[in-house]
Amino acid sequence: MKNVIVGQSGGPTSVINSSLAGVFEAARERGAEHVYGMRNGIQGFLEGRYVDLMGIFTKAIDIELLKRTPSSYLGSCRYKLPELFADGAKEVYDSIFEKLEELSVGYFFYIGGNDSMDTIGKLSDYGKEIGSKIRFIGVPKTIDNDLTVTDHTPGYGSAAKYIGVVMKEIIRDATVYGVNYVTIVEIMGRNAGWLTAAAALAGIGENEGVDMICLPEITFDVDRFVEKVRRMQEKKKSIVIAVSEGVKLADGRYVCELSDDVHAEDAFGHKSLTGTARYLANVVAERLDTKTRCIELSTLQRCAGHLTSRTDITEAYQVGGAAVKAAFEGHTGEMVALKRISDAPYQCTTELHPISEVANLEKKVPLEWINDDHTQMKKEFINYAYPLIQAELTPMFVGGLPQHINEL
Amino acid sequence: MKNVIVGQSGGPTSVINSSLAGVFEAARERGAEHVYGMRNGIQGFLEGRYVDLMGIFTKAIDIELLKRTPSSYLGSCRYKLPELFADGAKEVYDSIFEKLEELSVGYFFYIGGNDSMDTIGKLSDYGKEIGSKIRFIGVPKTIDNDLTVTDHTPGYGSAAKYIGVVMKEIIRDATVYGVNYVTIVEIMGRNAGWLTAAAALAGIGENEGVDMICLPEITFDVDRFVEKVRRMQEKKKSIVIAVSEGVKLADGRYVCELSDDVHAEDAFGHKSLTGTARYLANVVAERLDTKTRCIELSTLQRCAGHLTSRTDITEAYQVGGAAVKAAFEGHTGEMVALKRISDAPYQCTTELHPISEVANLEKKVPLEWINDDHTQMKKEFINYAYPLIQAELTPMFVGGLPQHINEL
């Protein structure tokens, strides 16, 4: 029996550890002797950093705590493997495969988004080149929900639930003074508006919901935006707007680039986007007779372990297990995807897709799910997202605080 | 039997409606025929805006939903009554008392912070001047916890719990990449550091807690701050810092005034403080070899109805009831205060204090509860705050979202 290794990569979520739990338990049940965890993904593994999870998750309560612990238990990285035939690439790949052979690893799992699937794709391609028998399977994870082929990604449901809940609370908070007030809430998602669209969930039930939703899928025009706010405020004093950090002008610049913030780039060339809501709040305050406030949900929206969707946590666990099943049955170079059977009753299963259909690609919000005025999500989006936020996984409160698993 | 009127004033909290529930139920039990609610506090009442809550809270579930609904159900205001003998004051006060007489109001309750207690004080003083029999009692509320005479204020426990929980989550999130990273979290509290100090709660249990806590009680020095961060990062890559929005330089300027934001003032002359964390994150990024991130908890920390302290919700309800009892027994011009009997086991009761001991005064964090290095809270603070965040009031989730009471 070969051993198993698993890593986490990219931005953390509140359910990525549930996928780790799913991989671990499925591997143990299938008889793996060692289940190694890479520290800080493939980057840490290249530096020889890993742990044997068999010696760590020894009690059932460990798994329950792990499922309830946000952020990446094993640590993460944003490391991009070199192209297969680039200068110096052979050295990197040989080093990885050598280490894997040393540990008698037969099955390799990587939990991450589209950048991470690039890693799975390159490793399985290189493995084929050198005739390695190691199986490489990707486990999807991203709050951004921008992976292709999968109906949705684990992590999205909980982030969407968090956004729906706090938008309800922000809307209530913003009405109290009965004065003209514009609240602009900045939500993550650089190119795909799935998270920002989730603000529409606040309008289900007794809350009238947000007044405007601005997705990166729609070209942003500052003047038109201010004019929409002006017209809305003629009818209603408190206006609450959800805006994606990634909204762009017609000339291709991000709106946040109009502000004065420093914008660094990461290893994948992604700009750090922040300041969109602040910029817009300042513009509205200058041009209209209203108070304004900007709120950035920041990392709170991806690490709110105290408020997860049970549907999401369960599916995150399931895709981990499905990945192990696939690898042990001989699959490689594939990603587990979620396939929706029906909306109501909600039913969902897993399937496999070649990694080439996923890596480095982005799935955006369908334009036909956005209303003609570009201010609200249509019913199609609600039907899609609503099942994903259902039910809760009760945190284990100890002394008034949710208990997490001990850090590695 | 005289009728009852109640209003909410100042910044909302996630438990201010529990105090409203406490006033309402106690008044109904004591036989009040009408329990009026002022819309937007005394300001709305002056405009003739009020409702009869007897016709609204008709079912037991209404009260349970009200307790779980963040923000001020009746709306709020930041309206300051004129000084008793100022020009035009008589007109304002006579108008209020005339309206109260019209409604046969015998008992007047105002739920709010130190600015709101100013309103109770002035109304009861004017009432004495004109020989009115109306009883005026203040019900304390503020996340800031800066009221004198009361051990703590309803609203603080839930905000403190929220801060403790999200700091735990932020700390986990900030460690994942294993790189130099400084996260600066901006927390409310313009002159008193009670909320920022609550970040220390994250260090109870398995989490190692925040690395530095900067309260407004301690003069802030930017150079010294950066030097502390530099030294901390020599030992540890991810540094998480809680900083009050109200930290000030030795020359009296707020740190956020060093940034470029617009700073408006409200009716009480309070500056709008924001941008402290962002300014400091930029300074650290410029001077040290580290990535930085700033997070403003903003209004999320005061309206997180999905994560309240049951201790806090219960006490908020109790002070409402105690206010009604006091008024019906003839007290006026007083505020209900919480009196702690012991820390462990935690026991707390209510008592009455003259409004003059409360109005317009601020209670700060004792300097002896802060360590010599001005970076952490001592055990005395933990002993004080820990009981206040205990236990949870489970939200009523409907369709994956916490249900609130319908808006007025």
Q: What is the pLDDT of residues A129-147, one digit of tens each?
A: 999 999 999 999 999 999 9
Chain A residue with Cα closest to B275: A278
Residues of chain A with CATH 3.40.50.460: 156-301
| Residue in A158, A176, A201 to test binding to B, most B beta-carbons within 10 Å | A176
Chain B residue with Cα closest to A389: B400
Chain B residue with Cα closest to A385: B400
Nearest to B214 by CA among B232, B230, B199: B199
Nearest to A390 among B12, B44, B400 (CB): B400
Residue contact B207–A400, C-beta within 8 A: no
- The tens digit of pLDDT for each residue in A354-394 reads 999 998 889 999 999 999 999 999 999 999 999 999 999 99
- Chain A CB contacts of B179 under 8 Å are none
Helix axes B310-328, B156-174, angle to 10 degrees: 170
Chain B residue with Cα closest to A308: B400
| Residue in B47, B56, B169 to test binding to A, most A beta-carbons within 10 Å | B169
Shortest Cα distance, chain B CAs vs residue A403, angstroms = 7
Tokens matching residue A258: 């109009």
Residue contact B176–A71, C-beta within 8 A: yes
Tokens matching residue A41: 């993904």
- Chain A CB contacts of B202 under 8 Å are 401
Measured CA to CA, the distance from residue A123 to residue A218 in angstroms comes to: 36
The reported pLDDT for the residue numbered B201 is 98
CB atoms under 10 Å from CB of B80, counted, come to 17
The reported pLDDT for the residue numbered B228 is 98
Q: Which helix (H) or strand (E) holds B147?
A: none
Residue contact A202–B401, C-beta within 8 A: yes
Residue contact A305–B77, C-beta within 8 A: no
Cβ pairs A/B, distance under 8 A: 198
Measured CA to CA, the distance from residue B393 to residue B68 in angstroms comes to: 8
Residue contact A172–B404, C-beta within 8 A: yes
Chain A residue with Cα closest to B72: A176
Cβ–Cβ < 8 Å for B240, B281: no
pLDDT over threshold 90, residue A264: no
The reported pLDDT for the residue numbered B181 is 96
The reported pLDDT for the residue numbered B272 is 67
**Which residues does B293 contact at the CB level (< 8 Å), separation at least 6?**
A298, A299, B174, B181, B182, B183, B184, B281
What's the pTM value of the predicted model, to 2 decimals? 0.97
Nearest to B40 among A177, A386, A403 (CB): A177
- Segment A198-206 mean pLDDT: 97
Nearest to B303 among A172, A202, A400 (CB): A172
Tokens matching residue A181: 């007030």
Residue contact B392–A391, C-beta within 8 A: no
Tokens matching residue A202: 């606040």
pLDDT over threshold 90, residue B206: yes
- Chain A CB contacts of B262 under 8 Å are 282, 285
The reported pLDDT for the residue numbered A302 is 96
Residue contact A401–B39, C-beta within 8 A: no
Complex ipTM, two decimals? 0.96
Shortest Cα distance, chain B CAs vs residue A122, angstroms = 22
Q: Which phi-psi region, left, alpha or beta, contains residue A88 (left: φ > 0; alpha: ψ -120 to 50)?
A: left
The reported pLDDT for the residue numbered B359 is 80
pLDDT over threshold 70, residue A89: yes
- The tens digit of pLDDT for each residue in A299-331 reads 999 999 999 999 999 999 999 999 999 999 999
Q: Which CATH architecture has domain B158-301?
A: 3-Layer(aba) Sandwich (3.40)
Three-state DSSP class for residue B408: coil
Cα–Cα–Cα angle for B142, B15, B311, nearest 5°?
100
Residue B366, preceding peptide bond in cis (omega within 30° of 0) = no
Average pLDDT, chain B: 95
- Chain B CB contacts of A345 under 8 Å are none
- The tens digit of pLDDT for each residue in B227-282 reads 999 999 999 999 999 999 999 999 999 999 987 654 455 555 556 678 899 999 99
Q: List own/partner pairs for B347-351 with CB under 8 A and 24 or more apart.
A: B348/B151, B348/B315, B350/B318, B350/B319, B350/B322
Cβ–Cβ < 8 Å for A168, A240: no
pLDDT over threshold 80, residue A272: no
CB atoms under 10 Å from CB of B242, counted, come to 31
Residue B144 annotated among the catalytic residues of the structure: yes
Residue contact B206–A309, C-beta within 8 A: no
Cβ–Cβ < 8 Å for B44, B11: no
Q: In the structure, what pLDDT confidence band is assigned to residue A1 with cuts at 50, 70 and 90?
A: low
pLDDT over threshold 90, residue B323: yes
Cα separation of the two ends of chain A: 27
The reported pLDDT for the residue numbered B259 is 78
- Chain B CB contacts of A264 under 8 Å are 291
Residue A345, preceding peptide bond in cis (omega within 30° of 0) = yes
The reported pLDDT for the residue numbered A26 is 98
- The tens digit of pLDDT for each residue in A154-163 reads 999 999 999 9
The reported pLDDT for the residue numbered B264 is 53
Q: Which CATH architecture has domain B3-143+305-360?
A: 3-Layer(aba) Sandwich (3.40)
Shortest Cα distance, chain B CAs vs residue A330, angstroms = 31
pLDDT over threshold 70, residue A271: no
Nearest to B207 among A207, A303, A404 (CB): A404
| Residue in B176, B236, B271 to test binding to A, most A beta-carbons within 10 Å | B176
Residue contact B291–A202, C-beta within 8 A: no
Q: Which residue has the tokens 């916890």?
A: B145
The reported pLDDT for the residue numbered B386 is 98
Q: List own/partner pairs for B44-49 with CB under 8 A and 24 or more apart.
A: B44/A178, B44/B7, B44/B75, B44/B77, B45/B5, B45/B7, B45/B96, B45/B99, B46/B79, B46/B92, B46/B95, B46/B96, B46/B99, B48/B99
The reported pLDDT for the residue numbered B267 is 52
Residues of chain A with CATH 3.40.50.450: 3-142+305-361+391-401
Shortest Cα distance, chain A CAs vs residue B185, angstroms = 11
Shortest Cα distance, chain B CAs vs residue A78, angstroms = 8
**Which residues does B330 contact at the CB level (< 8 Å), separation at least 6?**
B135
- Chain A CB contacts of B400 under 8 Å are 161, 164, 201, 309, 386, 389-392
Residue contact B306–A174, C-beta within 8 A: no
Three-state DSSP class for residue B325: helix
The reported pLDDT for the residue numbered B82 is 97
Three-state DSSP class for residue A168: helix
Tokens matching residue A71: 């952020």
Nearest to B295 among A70, A178, A298 (CB): A298
Chain A residue with Cα closest to B68: A169
| Residue in B271, B279, B393, B401 to test binding to A, most A beta-carbons within 10 Å | B401
Beta bridge partner(s), residue A140: A112
Residue contact B177–A202, C-beta within 8 A: no
- The tens digit of pLDDT for each residue in A227-257 reads 999 999 999 999 999 999 999 999 999 999 9
- The tens digit of pLDDT for each residue in A37-86 reads 999 999 999 999 999 999 999 999 999 999 999 999 999 999 999 999 99
The reported pLDDT for the residue numbered A270 is 58
Residues of chain B with CATH 3.40.50.460: 158-301
Tokens matching residue A406: 């001990």
- Segment B67-77 mean pLDDT: 97
- Chain B CB contacts of A76 under 8 Å are 176-177
pLDDT over threshold 70, residue B210: yes
Average pLDDT, chain A: 95
Chain B residue with Cα closest to A73: B176
Residue contact A397–B399, C-beta within 8 A: no
Nearest to A40 among B77, B178, B403 (CB): B178
Q: In the structure, what pLDDT confidence band is assigned to residue A269 with cuts at 50, 70 and 90?
A: low
- Chain A CB contacts of B165 under 8 Å are 306, 401-402
On whether the A3-142+305-361+391-401 domain is CATH 2.30.30.20, my answer is: no
Residue contact B391–A400, C-beta within 8 A: yes
Measured CA to CA, the distance from residue B196 to residue B242 in angstroms comes to: 6
Single out the catalytic residue among B115, B118, B144, B146: B144
| Residue in A45, A156, A177 to test binding to B, most B beta-carbons within 10 Å | A177
CATH number for the domain formed by residue range(s) A156-301: 3.40.50.460
Chain B residue with Cα closest to A49: B178
The reported pLDDT for the residue numbered B274 is 80
- Chain B CB contacts of A14 under 8 Å are 169
Tokens matching residue A287: 């041009």
Single out the catalytic residue among A115, A118, A144, A211: A144
- Segment B60-82 mean pLDDT: 97
The reported pLDDT for the residue numbered B360 is 83
Cβ–Cβ < 8 Å for A79, A87: no
The reported pLDDT for the residue numbered A273 is 74
